[in-house]
């Protein structure tokens, strides 16, 4: 059997870039959040102990539920983590040198005494989460004022997608340096509200 793997059919579950706590929680002060779904081969039809091609065959023949397809995709992302990170790093390094938007943002950040380069723009696998309400919670990247930028290598589909994601996160970095943003709204909720406006 060939070792190459075809594209996995997309799961029939809704997707969202919003994040929520990792398990069903309730408190006096807050809402109850849906629990994260973990794979049960008896329920989903996906069994990580089987060969990938056997699971794939079960998917294309309809023997795996949409939830099982989600778990299969996450399983394959873990298997291909090293490959995906290397591709992400290659695209990142190219963008830092040649993408007009990324180079422009890098210069603007440097003008504010900031620094973004391969040392603090990190490529890594970002696990998605499926909650019991059928929502998939995932991200393509993120910015942390203390750490830099995260690019989710398993969510990046192409060089242009990486450039768009990197530029988006660089705008957050510029906002932070220029306006001393209050990201969580501890001091000023207007800061937290405007960080995603127009992005």
In 3D space, the residue among 169, 136, 145, 192 whose CA is nearest the CA of residue 15 turns out to be 136
Strands (E), the chain: 14-16, 121-124, 129-130, 135-137, 141-144, 148-152
Structure tokens at 192: 């937290």
Binned at pLDDT 50, 70 and 90, residue 12 comes out as: very low
In 3D space, the residue among 61, 63, 32 whose CA is nearest the CA of residue 47 turns out to be 63
Binned at pLDDT 50, 70 and 90, residue 144 comes out as: very high
Q: What is the pLDDT of residues 80-136, one digit of tens each?
A: 999 999 999 999 999 999 999 999 999 999 999 999 999 999 999 999 999 999 999
Q: What is the pLDDT of residue 3?
A: 45
The catalytic site residues sit at: 169
For the entire predicted model, the pTM comes to 0.76
Rounded CA separation 174/96 (Å): 16
Q: What is the pLDDT of residues 27-86, one digit of tens each?
A: 556 667 899 999 999 999 999 999 999 999 999 999 999 999 999 999 999 999 999 999
Structure tokens at 142: 């993120």
Structure tokens at 190: 């207007």
Binned at pLDDT 50, 70 and 90, residue 142 comes out as: very high
The half-sphere exposure of 69 on its side-chain side, counting CA atoms within 13 A, is 20
């Amino acid at each position: 059997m060939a070792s190459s793997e075809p594209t996995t059919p997309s799961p029939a579950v809704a997707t969202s870039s919003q994040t929520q706590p990792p398990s069903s929680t309730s408190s006096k002060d807050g809402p109850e959040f849906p629990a994260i779904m973990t794979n049960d081969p008896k329920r989903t039809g996906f069994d990580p102990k089987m060969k990938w091609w056997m699971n794939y065959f079960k998917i294309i023949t309809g023997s795996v539920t949409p939830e099982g397809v989600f778990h299969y995709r996450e399983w394959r992302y873990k298997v291909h983590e090293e490959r995906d990170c290397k591709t992400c790093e290659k695209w990142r390094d190219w963008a830092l040198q040649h993408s007009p938007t990324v180079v422009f943002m890098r210069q603007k950040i440097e003008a504010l005494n900031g620094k973004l380069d391969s040392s603090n723009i990190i490529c890594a696998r970002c696990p998605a989460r499926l909650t019991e309400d059928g929502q998939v919670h995932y991200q393509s990247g993120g910015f942390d004022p203390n750490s830099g930028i995260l690019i989710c290598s398993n969510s990046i589909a192409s060089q242009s997608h990486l450039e768009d994601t990197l530029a988006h996160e660089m705008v957050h970095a510029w906002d932070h340096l220029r306006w001393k943003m209050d990201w969580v709204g501890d001091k000023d909720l207007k800061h937290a509200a405007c960080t995603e406006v127009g992005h």
